[in-house]
Amino acid sequence: MTPIVSIDKLRVTFGSGAGTVEAVKDVSFDIASGETFCVVGESGSGKSVTSLSLMRLVEFGGGQIMDGRLTLHRETGPLDIAAADGDTMRDVRGDEIGMIFQEPMTSLNPVFTIERQLTDGLRVHRGISGPAARDRALELLKEVRIPEPEQRLQQYPHELSGGMRQRVVIAIAMACRPRMLIADEPTTALDVTIQAEILALINRLKRETGMAVMFITHDMAVVAQIADRVVVMYRGEVVEEGPVDQIFSDPQAAYTKALLAAVPRLGEMRGKPAPEPLRLVGDTSEPKPLLPKEDPEPLLQVKNLTTYFPVKGGPMRRHVANVHAVEDVSFTLNKGETLSLVGESGCGKSSCGRSILRLVEPTSGTVILDHQNVLDANHRDLRRLRRQMQMIFQDPFASLNPYMRLAAQVAEPLKNFGLASGTELTEKVAALFDRVELSRDYMRRFPHELSGGQRQRIAIARALAVSPKLIIADEAVSALDVSVQAQVLNLMMELQADLGLSFLFISHDMAVVERVSHHLAVMYLGRIVEIGPRAAIFEDPRHPYTKALMRAVPIADPSRRKLEDDLKFKPIPSPIHPLTFTPDPSQYEEITPVHKVLRVS
Amino acid sequence: MRRFFKGKGLVGTFIVIAVLLVALLAPLVIPDSYATQMNMRARLSGPTWDHLFGTDQLGRDLFYRVVLGAQTSIMIAGAAVLMSIVIGLPLGIISGYFGGVIDNVLMRLVDTLLSFPALLLALTISAVLGPNLTNTIIAIGIAFTPFLARIIRGEALRVTQMPYVEAARAAGTTDAWMIVRHILPNIMPAIIVQGTISLAFAILAEAGLSFLGLGTQPPNASWGLMIQASRDYLDVAPWTALVPGAAVALTVLGLNLFGDTLRDVLDPRTET
């Protein structure tokens, strides 16, 4: 195999003087045509910096290539990208190397049509314009399998869905037939079904054009699905490189082993009676399954919960329509158990959690928490009820007040309810820090001094402060690196075992959900389409949407690849309905007394 | 604390203290007549040993005028901006935090005020109340309030939607505590920035009022008044504009640097 790109002892630094940070240290690898080369690592591993160096875009972010060679093997001879001038690089970018980015919402310019953005590269690099360029643009849209490509040309980015936008971004990158495509986390911001479609598309384009793909991701499951060869990076260094099968079956480096141990794999809980903590490297103890009680008592009963958000329109901002965020949702969560709400973005899972806490006001329904009606509660009762249910949020960076010391933030709920003061308060807070395994030294610090995982521990400590019975965890581990995610998940499960907590676990990640749940509810368009015990749903999914979701989830195991050509899932319809619209009630078919599937009307 | 005496903080702190000292002490040390003494033989004279900064169209010494005018300008501008913050802050926070009907009512009120040019508004108020120092402050203060209220409302709205506010609400935090501990510290940077910029505009607004006979009354000096008066002589005696202009610019620069440092000191993220 002849390499297209050879990276040799690359070193990149940011900043200068005493504040210099070495983001990439001595990184070397080759990428050959026709292969998918995955660069995998957690945040701060230098994977994106490496790819940006290859495009010489790293300078625009304040980075500097200090050392090393980046050789692009062209037909006319090798070119050292590290030493190339601006004009040469402009020729390389978008022509010989195409690039796609993580966020399809922001990598397209909102004020230009799709055609204009597709033909830009052709005009610059190939001198093609007018009808010829339009024909080529159309061809490209067909190549990335966009439905109704003719109409798309004249549309603007906001008129397309996220998945379609990412297809357009890929089409733009493919416009000049690049010899290498750099994809930097191209599916991270996408829903799992769309992710599966995009991965299949990249795979097919690679096969058809013979280009090399440099695929950057943090997600081991995606790596297992798409990679030919893998390089694992950690803190700016390469820790391991090899074919994908070898990396997964026989990892050599300690870091790779630890990383793989932390990844929940869909299907690995098969046959296990209850959720159990992940077994991390160095952990020799036998994992304790979280067996449910013999005759569990219900803690939270949700009946016919419905939440609409008004859509305002017209010059008078009148109420013209409703977003049906949560539609006739009913479920029961038992004491000491975890019920997960899963679904893709916009399915109403978060709105459902927030409605239960009344952070948004539900339209109708009943929520009974430990024999008390939450939705009827007045202002004072609600405050009292909130002592029993707490929430952990997704973004550990935004859910802590940057201006308050950590101890004060953990103490706040205790103070609010007058549960402790003075030295007692300090001691209670210190005990909470111990409980979430954070050093007491952190008590006097501010949020910015902590990593994402540590902040999430603070958020958990804050939620635990008032000894609630129920914790609603809204995508609580989604923003964390996989090794940190595993630790936080294990902590949550440990807390459940020790304190008898109930979790309403809201997540989009099927593998994580399989790991932590006793029961599972799959949501789609505001409704629960299937609900039941974890084993029943994972081993015997009945609803078409549950099946589609299972089919789309990537598995962190290269021997279980499922990249089919041109995967196409049904797009989710709009949840916005006119005011006069009366939805049908949710009616369920019982597969077993506990496993129910929404009747398709 | 040390950061007030380092780098840009040092420059800012120094300028602010110097300007404040001049404004406070000058009228005690230098008799008023130095600034009002006309000298028709030395009209529009450039900087000389006799007149360090030159003279104006009536032969008055610009150095003394600028030094003695400092108190008027700084006091009016400072008090007016302070007043606009005192009124605008609660308006903005209540609007942004509570939203709904309260927000709509308050903001329509603010929009109404905003639709008048600030100077015209100040002029009207000052004309109704009568021309004196207190009324000038009130006029400028009220005219500037809607700008501050608008900006603070936007910031309060942004912060109110942050997950940490939601988390605090879920933890049973009361509205008053929420505003004091969660909203206020997080909108402070915007208030500081807007406050320092407003000061510069307030100094000039006072000039506008003086020009129309409603602010500082001649022959007393204020920086704004001096800039206004220089208008007709820009081509023959540019220093008549440059001297008070530089005083305003220096003050604003000092306040900006000071404000920046203050913001950094309050922000735990920049702790070194």
Please give the pLDDT value at position A228. Answer: 94
**Which residues are CB-contacts of A83 (< 8 A; sequence separation ≥ 6)?**
none
Distances (CA, A) of A38 to A99, A218, A245, B85: 14, 10, 13, 55
**Which residues are CB-contacts of B69 (< 8 A; sequence separation ≥ 6)?**
B35, B216, B220, B221, B222, B223, B225, B226, B244, B247
Contact A386 B162 (CB under 8 A): no
Residues A255 and A394 in one domain: no
Residues A323 and A179 in one domain: no
Tell me if A118 is assigned to some domain: yes
Residues A255 and A402 in one domain: no
pLDDT tier, A565 (very low <50, low <70, confident <90, very high otherwise) = low
Contact B171 A395 (CB under 8 A): no
- Among candidates A357, A390, A393 on the partner chain, residue whose Cβ is nearest the Cβ of B163: A393
State how many domains chain A has: 2
What pLDDT, in 10s, does the model give residues A500-524? 999 999 999 999 999 999 999 999 9
Please give the pLDDT value at position A566. Answer: 59
Alpha-helix residue ranges (DSSP H) falling in A210-324: 220-226, 244-249, 254-262
Residues A28 and A171 in one domain: yes
Range from A273-277, A374-378, A570-574 that averages highest in pLDDT: A374-378
Please give the pLDDT value at position A138. Answer: 92
Please give the pLDDT value at position B106. Answer: 92
ipTM above 0.90, yes or no: no
Tell me if A248 is assigned to some domain: yes
Place of tokens 């070193």: A11
With contacts defined as CB-CB under 8 Å, which chain B residues touch A398?
162-164
Amino acid letter at A580? T
Query: Tokens in use for A543?
Result: 């609803």
Average pLDDT of the residues of chain A: 89
Tell me the percentage of chain A whose pLDDT exceeds 70: 99
Residues A114 and A243 in one domain: yes
Separation of alpha carbons A373 and A368, rounded Å: 5
Residue A284: CA atoms inside 13 Å, Cβ hemisphere, count?
A: 0
Amino acid letter at A391? M
With contacts defined as CB-CB under 8 Å, which chain A residues touch B266?
403
Place of tokens 């304790």: A288
- Among candidates B167, B174, B267 on the partner chain, residue whose Cβ is nearest the Cβ of A462: B167
With contacts defined as CB-CB under 8 Å, which chain A residues touch B173?
412-413, 416
- Among candidates A391, A404, A409 on the partner chain, residue whose Cβ is nearest the Cβ of B170: A391
Please give the pLDDT value at position A1. Answer: 64
B23's enclosing H/E stretch is helix B7-29
What integer is the mean pLDDT of B117-140? 82
Separation of alpha carbons A348 and A88, rounded Å: 49
Contact B171 A416 (CB under 8 A): yes
Residues A233 and A334 in one domain: no
Contact A391 B167 (CB under 8 A): yes
Tell me if A204 is assigned to some domain: yes
Instruction: Please choose, from the candidates A298, A413, A381, A395, the residue with its C-alpha nearest in 3D space to the C-alpha of residue A350.
Output: A395
Angle made by CA atoms A401, A406, A407, in degrees to the nearest 5? 130
Please give the pLDDT value at position B241. Answer: 84
Amino acid letter at B73? S
Using the 3D structure, point to which of A529, A561, A577 is the last residue of a domain: A529
What pLDDT, in 10s, does the model give residues A425-437? 999 999 999 988 8
With contacts defined as CB-CB under 8 Å, which chain B residues touch A417?
172
Tell me if A541 is assigned to some domain: no
Contact A466 B174 (CB under 8 A): no
Please give the pLDDT value at position A305. Answer: 95
Tell me the percentage of chain A whose pLDDT exceeds 90: 43
pLDDT tier, B266 (very low <50, low <70, confident <90, very high otherwise) = confident
Does position B272 have pLDDT exceeding 60, yes or no?
Answer: no
> Domain range for residue A147?
3-262
pLDDT tier, B1 (very low <50, low <70, confident <90, very high otherwise) = low
What integer is the mean pLDDT of B207-212? 75
Handedness of CA B219, B222, B228, B233 (dihedral sign): positive
Phi first, then psi, for residue A439 (nearest 5°) are -60, 145
Please give the pLDDT value at position B187. Answer: 93
Using the 3D structure, point to which of A496, A529, A562 is the last residue of a domain: A529
Residues A391 and A475 in one domain: yes
Does position A79 have pLDDT exceeding 80, yes or no?
Answer: yes
B61: which DSSP letter? B
Residues A138 and A212 in one domain: yes
pLDDT tier, B81 (very low <50, low <70, confident <90, very high otherwise) = very high
Separation of alpha carbons B239 and B230, rounded Å: 8
Does position A182 have pLDDT exceeding 90, yes or no?
Answer: yes
Dihedral angle of Cα A235, A240, A241, A242, to the nearest 10 degrees: -150
**Which residues are CB-contacts of B37 (< 8 A; sequence separation ≥ 6)?**
B60, B61
Please give the pLDDT value at position A512. Answer: 92
Q: What is the CATH number of the domain that holds A407?
A: 3.40.50.300
SS3 A241: strand
Residues A30 and A144 in one domain: yes
CB A389 within 8 A of CB A369: yes
